[in-house]
Structure 1
Amino acid sequence: MRMTSSRRRRRFAMSTDLRPLDVPDGVFEHEDEAVEFIRFWVAGGVDHVILKVGVFAASDEARYWGMICADIAKHAVRGMQQDDPSRGSADQMMAELQKGFADRVESLRADLTGQLKVKKQ
């Protein structure tokens, strides 16, 4: 099941490079078992999200999404270090990322209701 959502975001400085990202190396070598779980765009100050939910057992899904978020965090830290090593250590960047994540989750707690647009595949 695919779900889409849009949410207004605070304006922030970001690149003007609007090209789509490449498919990661290795995906096509395993395309029979490859699954895209998330696309996240910011456009006009609004985040636009498509999620593939319902892949995992209902009792495990939230935990697996937590693991996906952690893997994204790891790759973000590695990418930021590769882009500019002067930003600080991996531990420092991960701590900042975790704080940003925790702050954002806390700010969204009151807004966990409502419906997402669901598209059946």
Structure 2
Amino acid sequence: MKKFLSLFMAGFIILLMFVVPGSPVKADCGCNVSPIVGAEKNKIVAKLISNEEFKKVKLNSIHEGYSWKGVKAIEVIKDNDNGIILVGVPFINKDGSVEMFAFMDGHFLGISPSH
């Protein structure tokens, strides 16, 4: 009887794992953003890297010991709720970890993760 109860409970737990809908991995984060790719991304990136504020931030960060990962590593996302386009420019710090420099409409917002 003890073995039967153990097998029954184990089978019940396994059944619940596969039958119950939903997964914390697939759960909605509440962020309504989407990546921008292709020609639209290229236009946004070209406009950013020709911007004087970006050039100043890039130069200052290189003097502080950061290294720029290049144009290919730049990420562009659009906040679908309010239409804001954010650009993340990855730099490698002195420790070798990646930090994203965030820009919106060509203006520097800050570094993530912040110091």
TM-score, normalized by the shorter chain, greater than 0.5? no
TM-score when normalising by structure 2: 0.23
Q: Which has the higher contact order (CA 8 A, sep 6+)?
A: 1
> Which structure has the greater CA radius of gyration?
2
Structure (1/2) with the larger strand percentage: 2
